[in-house]
Amino acid sequence: MANAAGAHHDEHHDHYPSFFSRWFCSTNHKDIGTVYMFVAMFAAIIGGGMSWYIRLELAEPGIQFIQDKQFYNVLLTAHGFLMIFFVVMPGTIGGFGNWFVPMMIGAPDMAFPRMNNISLWLLVVALLMLLISAFVEGGVGTGWTVYPPLSNSIYHPSPAVDFGILSLHLAGASSILGAINFIVTIFNMRAPGMTLHKMPLFVWSILVTAFLLVLALPVLAGGLTMLLTDRNFGTHFFDPAGGGDPILWQHLFWFFGHPEVYIIILPAFGIISQIVSTFSKKPVFGYLGMAYAMAAIGVVGFVVWAHHMYAVGLDVDTRAYFTAATMVIAVPTGVKIFSWLATMWGGSIEFKTPMLYAFGFIFLFVVGGVTGVTLANSSADLVFHDTYFVVAHFHYVMAIAAIFAMFAGWYYWIGKMSGKQYSEIWGKIQFWIFFIGVNVLFFPQHFAGLAGMPRRIPDYPDAFAGWNYVSSIGALITAVGTLLFFVILIRTYASGAKAEQNPWGVGATTLEWQVPSPAPFHTFEDQPDMSGKAPAE
């Protein structure tokens, strides 16, 4: 296999375009992926900074820092938007997806390179619009769910909300274009012999995610447009005074919003599958089950949306259906977890930093997953809806888990992307600080939520002071871990050791490890041929 992919490529000198053409007008999937990752990191600094400011305010009862309560709502809204649309999605799909999907299937680039460029820059413009919205006349204080009537022109008259809506429109368009690009690439540009059932699981995860994006985002776009016309052109889609219904927005939003959760976590599943297999030096256990579990999660993900709406006054039979349907999701996610464990079982595990993060990911996902079983119950939701229990749940299962997968992916692939290897010892230290930090940060929020603390409040009854203080200490530790990551990143680029073609040994079997590090500007000299090979994983 070693000679299939231009092993002597490093002697060949690529001709790189000038700085501006290379980074701004790029049609190269690797350069676009790199820019996506830096956009994600930039947004992460802002979105993370907001969350630390929130935790600083919540460290003690009473209002200490954020005197303007609208600004508090703006912070928590922007934190949600930034982390979902501008950190995790560009990081996992735009960054790692762009970099490694074409490489893993033996394609020279994405199917539509120019469309790839427009996806990227639409996202950057969307990010700027979102940042503007936070500073225009009071900002968007609606929460990331933008529920009307709070988000309509009576209760949020400033153009900030219109900026926010347009930002989401652009981010949505960017994602739809990107998703189409991935679907076409994966269906049409696989190397000979790279059948669907031989594709690495990361490619599978991006394929399923792309379908979710294409099906879910237009529904959000429709809802956003209706909200925009309600605000500006006198329609009453969501206004009961004009015969509309605010709950209609919630149905449209969550029909998008629930698949969005899987859009965030499926690529993370893909990354973790690659890493677990590599560092166990074993192919993935139950490959087909893993691939089809992701497809099943994608399908079921479209018929459970109203479990976010148990409290709106849905008919009891409707809530019963959504309870039962939501329970079903635990089955394919269970298959994922047990298959990862079985992949490691009998393996010869190297605990390099990416593998530590994979272990951490599985831990977070299991803890957040079981609380998800609680929250699936419309009956239990009578005490848990809109409490910190929910905050703890989704940060464990989705948000921090996705961040862990991104760290795991970064450590795993940085040698391939930059040609420089990170420092193993500092990577491990960074993992432990971050792992301890997020657990101290989010685990106590389960207790605050059980005790009844509502979400999205800048001050709280004194009884919640204890766990909030602990949680804020966790945020501080997490901030140290994050800072250390950026130090490691800068050191890696500035003075990292030269990365080998394959630093991970026999476990790393996918095609990206058969080209030099950094991957050359044009990946493959000769098209790889996978005919007669076992599944890549």
Partner 1 sequence: MRNKLKMILSALAGVLISMGPAFAGPNGDVRSSDWQIWLQEPASPTADRIVAFNGQLMVIETLIVIFVMGLMAYIAYRYSAKNNPVPSKTTHHVGLEVAWTILPIFILVGITIPSLKHLYFADRTPDAEMTLKITGNQWYWNYAYPDQNNLTFDSIFVPDDELKPGQPRMLTVDNKVYLPVETNIRLLMTSADVIHNWAIPSLSVKLDTVPGRINETWTRIHEKYVGKTIYGMCSELCGVNHGFMPIAIEAVSKEDFAKWVKQAQAKFASDDPKANVIVRLASAKVTR
Cite the active site residues.
79, 109, 144, 174-175, 258, 260, 262, 273, 307-308, 333, 336, 455
d(CA 339, CA 295): 15
- For residues 35 and 27, the answer to whether their CB atoms sit within 8 Å is no
Give the binding range for partner 1 (CB under 8 A) out of 206-214, 266-274, 358-366, 433-441. 358-366
Minimum CB distance to partner 1 smaller for 367 or for 402 = 367
User: Min. distance of Cβ 155 from partner 1 in angstroms?
Assistant: 6
**Is the bond leading into 503 cis (omega within 30 degrees of zero)?**
no
Binders in 191-250 for partner 1, by CB under 8 A? 240-241, 245-247
- 460 contacts partner 1 (rule: CB under 8 A): yes
User: Min. distance of Cβ 144 from partner 1 in angstroms?
Assistant: 10
- 7 contacts partner 1 (rule: CB under 8 A): no
Binders in 117-156 for partner 1, by CB under 8 A? 138, 141-143, 147, 149-150, 154-155
Give the binding range for partner 1 (CB under 8 A) out of 31-39, 110-118, 260-268, 448-456. 448-456
Residue from 463, 483, 487, 490 binding partner 1 (CB under 8 A): 463
User: Min. distance of Cβ 289 from partner 1 in angstroms?
Assistant: 6
Binders in 398-437 for partner 1, by CB under 8 A? none
d(CA 523, CA 527): 9
Helix (H), strand (E), coil (C) string for 192-247 = CCCCHHHCCHHHHHHHHHHHHHHHHHHHHHHHHHHHHHHHHCCCCCCCHHHCCCHH
User: Min. distance of Cβ 403 from partner 1 in angstroms?
Assistant: 20
Please give the angle made by the CA atoms of 225, 229 and 233, to the nearest 5 degrees: 160
State which H helix or E strand residue 149 sits in: none
Q: Which of 483, 392, 407 is nearest to 438 (CA)?
A: 392
Residue from 22, 251, 456, 522 binding partner 1 (CB under 8 A): 456
- For residues 373 and 307, the answer to whether their CB atoms sit within 8 Å is no
How many C-beta neighbours within 10 Å does residue 173 have? 17
User: Min. distance of Cβ 161 from partner 1 in angstroms?
Assistant: 13
DSSP string, 489-514: HHHHHHHPEEPPS-TTGGG--SGGGG
State which H helix or E strand residue 319 sits in: helix 316-328
d(CA 225, CA 523): 41
Binding residues for partner 1, rule CB under 8 A, total 95
User: Min. distance of Cβ 74 from partner 1 in angstroms?
Assistant: 11
User: Min. distance of Cβ 338 from partner 1 in angstroms?
Assistant: 4
- 443 contacts partner 1 (rule: CB under 8 A): no
Binders in 251-290 for partner 1, by CB under 8 A? 280-287, 289
Residue from 351, 432, 486, 493 binding partner 1 (CB under 8 A): 351
User: Which residues, 6+ apart, have CB-to-CB distance to 158 below 8 Å?
Assistant: 136, 137, 138, 139
- For residues 484 and 433, the answer to whether their CB atoms sit within 8 Å is yes
- For residues 79 and 53, the answer to whether their CB atoms sit within 8 Å is no
Binders in 54-73 for partner 1, by CB under 8 A? 61-62, 67-70, 73
Binders in 359-398 for partner 1, by CB under 8 A? 359, 362-363, 366-367, 370-371, 373-374, 377-383, 385-387
User: Which three-class secondary structure state does DSSP give residue 387?
Assistant: strand
- 323 contacts partner 1 (rule: CB under 8 A): yes
Residue from 330, 476, 480, 489 binding partner 1 (CB under 8 A): 330
- 341 contacts partner 1 (rule: CB under 8 A): yes
For the record, the structure tokens of 214 come out as 């294409």
Binders in 488-527 for partner 1, by CB under 8 A? none
- 49 contacts partner 1 (rule: CB under 8 A): no
